[in-house]
Amino acid sequence: MSDTVPEVGTPDPTAPPARRDPHRHRIHPAWGVAAVTFLALLGAAAFRSTPSVLIEPLHQEFGWTVGTVSAALSVNLALFGLTAPFAAALMERFGIRRVVAFALLLVAIGSGLTVFMTAPWQLILLWGVVVGLGTGSMAMALVATVVGRWFVARRGLVSGLLTAASAAGQLVFLPLIAWIATSSGWRPAALTTSLVALGVVPLVLLLMRDRPSDVDVLPYGGTPADVTDPLRSGAARIAVDALRTAARVPTFWLLIGGFFICGATTAGLVQSHFVPAAHDHGMPATTAAGLLALVGVFDLVGTVCSGWLTDRVDARVLLGVYYAGRGVSLAVLPPLFGTDLQASMLAFVIFYGLDWVATVPPTLALTRQVFGAKAPVVFGWIFAAHQVGAAFAALLAGLIRDALGSYDLAWYGGAVLCVLAAIMSISIRTARRGTDPAGTPPQGGPAATTG
């Protein structure tokens, strides 16, 4: 073994390769990955815009009841959520790019094949199972994974921006889908969503990168201590182990309960049944779809602002305010429906839009604070509860409409649930700042705590 010391200016052949200085990039690669992720979520959101405007056309063509169509929607929403923790684990095992590309293909195939269906079970299989698995393989698990790997600084802001992709998708596609369904029928509308999802696949394959190390940089705003190694065990084992660990922490169950109600009162009630409820009161479907798209406009603003606030305000307080405000707005909704568009309905749309998924950034921040490096997979389970709540509400609201001829009871029930969610959120007691449940500092440094 030689004791010679390399001359000054001579590279040491035994030293590890130096990581490229991220400041040499005019724009950090993390922002490019975030942009591609936004587009992928936008493509999946094309399908998320479809169900509410197709309930009535499917009823008219096949004679299927609102409850029957709602059953397929319920399966879709449930799988959308239950897939999330396993999708996060698959991203750890196989990489973001492969999982997202495959998920978009599932959305395209499932939506496209619906044009050939003739029976309710085919609707449940394609619209419920295939598309549910595809959209669930991205969703909030993708947001949590990208933010956790690529960002240390600005995590709240980026999580808000990516969460807003679904709102932007609703904004872009809902009026278009409603117009196509009204003018040309539901089949061209379904094919449009299929083509949009398919069109994003090449962008993901060409531009998405799995980890900062793939392009030889550190996470945005991070240090070498913030770099985490990929988990190489089976996806199912990763997901189940994360659930077993999280289940021992009371905060997990409070977040689960709040997000169950969040899903029930957004995707389950308003996104799925606002258009048919407005149609019940004589409002044209295209007008109601335009209002729901307007919810998406203000959701985009509200979610980004919520991300900014999450970096600065106690996440528990934010959640309490968001849920309480949502409950009040649902309680006053039933009298606002009518044949004509009134200023009061516009006020509801604006307020509900600002509050729509503003809950995601603070919920994700609390998950990171408590569970550290396991946060993406744990958040997958929390998001699963969100979608189970959405599935429950979508089905129950449809059954209420069939039984009573009105959605009023569903709206009032959602208002009561929101009050309960606000109470649970304020009751959260997190771990000591900077530690996870095991008492060790979470990976991700200070940014892993609630702003």
Work out how many domains the chain is built from and give that number. 1
The per-residue pLDDT for 425 is 93
104-121 pLDDT, tens digit each: 898 889 888 988 998 889
For residue 16, is it within any domain?
Answer: no
The predicted structure's pLDDT at residue 443: 39
Asked if the structure places residue 90 within a domain, the reply is yes
Please indicate, yes or no, if residue 55 is contained in any of the structural domains: yes
Q: What is the pLDDT of residue 20?
A: 47
Residue 111 lies in a domain: yes
pLDDT over 70 at 171, yes or no:
no
Report whether pLDDT(439) > 80: no
The chain-wide mean pLDDT, for the chain, equals 79
CATH of residue 420's domain is 1.20.1250.20
The per-residue pLDDT for range 357-380, each reduced to its tens digit, is 789 889 988 998 888 878 877 887
Q: Report if residue 372 sits inside a domain.
A: yes
Read off the pLDDT of residues 296-326 as tens digits, 9 standing for 90 and up: 778 878 888 888 898 888 999 999 999 999 9
Per the domain annotation, does 40 fall within a domain?
A: yes
Q: Give the mean pLDDT of 69-91.
A: 78
Question: Does a structural domain hold residue 17?
Answer: no
* Average pLDDT of the residues in 334-346: 86
Whether 19 maps to a domain, the answer reads: no
Average pLDDT over residues 55-72: 82
pTM, rounded to two decimals: 0.67
Which range marks the domain in which residue 435 is found? 28-210+231-448
Q: What is the SS3 string spanning the chain?
A: CCCCCCCCCCCCCCCCCCCCCHHHCCCCHHHHHHHHHHHHHHHHHHHHCCHHHHHHHHHHHHCCCHHHHHHHHHHHHHHHHHCHHHHHHHHHHHCHHHHHHHHHHHHHHHHHHHHHCCCHHHHHHHHHHHHHHHHHCCHHHHHHHHHHHHECCCHHHHHHHHHHHHHHHHHHHHHHHHHHHHHHCHHHHHHHHHHHHHHHHHHHHHHCCCCHHHHCCCCECCCHHHCCCCCCCCHHHHHHHHHHHHCCCHHHHHHHHHHHHHHHHHHHHHHHHHHHHHHHCCCCHHHHHHHHHHHHHHHHHHHHHHHHHHCCCCHHHHHHHHHHHHHHHHHCCHHHCCCCCCHHHHHHHHHHHHHCCCCHHHHHHHHHHHHHHHHHHHHHHHHHHHHHHHHHHHHHHHHHHHHHCCCHHHHHHHHHHHHHHHHHHHCCCCCCCCCCCCCCCCCCHHHHCCC
